[in-house]
């Protein structure tokens, strides 16, 4: 347990909400994909898209923490 009180960031900006929305959409699309039907290139593109979105959401968390 730390002595630090958890910080709750203020409301998100429209831009931040849009970025979260795009990440959710990409995740929903990835969940709907039939991975067995994708060729190697399709799988790579899917993983890269999700990796990029994960990075984007982590950056957003850093932004919210700083505000």
Token pair of 14, please? 């429209």
* Per-residue confidence (pLDDT) for residue 64, from 0 to 100: 82
Q: Quick check: 59 pLDDT over 60?
A: yes
More confident residue, 63 or 53: 53
Average pLDDT score over the chain: 87
Model-wide pTM > 0.75? no
The string of pLDDT tens digits covering residues 25-58 is 999 999 999 999 999 999 999 999 999 999 999 9
Token pair of 63, please? 């932004």
* Per-residue confidence (pLDDT) for residue 65, from 0 to 100: 78
């Amino acid at each position: 347990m730390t002595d630090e009180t958890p910080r709750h960031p203020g409301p998100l900006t429209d831009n931040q909400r849009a970025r979260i929305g795009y990440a959710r959409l990409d995740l929903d699309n990835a969940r709907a994909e039939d991975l067995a039907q994708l060729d190697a290139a399709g799988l790579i593109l899917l993983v890269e898209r999700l990796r990029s979105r994960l990075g984007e959401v982590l950056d957003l968390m850093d932004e919210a923490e700083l505000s």
